[in-house]
Amino acid sequence: MQQGYQRKRRRPVAEINVVPYIDVMLVLLIIFMVTAPIVTQGVKVDLPQAQSEALAADSKPPVVASIDADGNYFLDVGSSSARETLDLEEIAIRVGAIIQLEPERPVVVKADRSIAYEKVIQLMVTLQGAGVPSVGLMTDTPEE
């Protein structure tokens, strides 16, 4: 080496390379976008343990979809409480129209305690398909 020539020392670079982190985040985003619809396909119901809360007094009167002990479906839309038997398609059409006009209107299911669980699930899936964002379950206050 020559005496008058000194090599410049390289200083270490104190920067974080963020490109690998961005790649990992994009992969995670794609994974979550793919798995989110699969996870939320079930009917979400929070069943009460013992007591249930009443609807808020300032809320609109709920749409009540009922199932009697014989497995017949009925729909009560507040003021009109006609006791005509409906099929699931007719309930979906009527509730879908109501939800389009009043999206914040609550919808509850009222079923006889002796009815098969399958009938309640069919009604809830029908209501979900009609555009109802959440369905409540009507209960009696427990007797003590």
Q: Report if residue 74 sits inside a domain.
A: yes
Model confidence over 71-105: pLDDT tens digits? 888 888 865 555 678 888 998 999 899 889 888 88
Q: Report if residue 5 sits inside a domain.
A: no
Q: Report if residue 83 sits inside a domain.
A: yes
Can you give the pTM of this predicted structure? Answer: 0.56
CA distances to 21, 29, 40, 93 from 33, rounded to whole Å, are 18, 6, 12, 31
Q: Residue 73 is part of which domain span?
A: 63-138
Q: Report if residue 9 sits inside a domain.
A: no
pLDDT score of 39: 60
CATH number, residue 116: 3.30.420.270
Q: Report if residue 100 sits inside a domain.
A: yes
Q: Report if residue 84 sits inside a domain.
A: yes
pLDDT score of 12: 78
**Residue 27, φ and ψ in degrees, nearest 5:** -65, -45
Please give the Cα distance from 10 to 47 (Å, whole number): 66
Could you tell me the pLDDT band of residue 112, with boundaries at 50, 70 and 90? confident
The DSSP call for residue 127 is H
Count the domains in the chain: 1
Model confidence over 115-125: pLDDT tens digits? 888 888 899 99
CB atoms within 10 A of CB 91: 19
Sheet with 63-67: list strands edge to edge. 73-76, 63-67, 107-111, 135-137
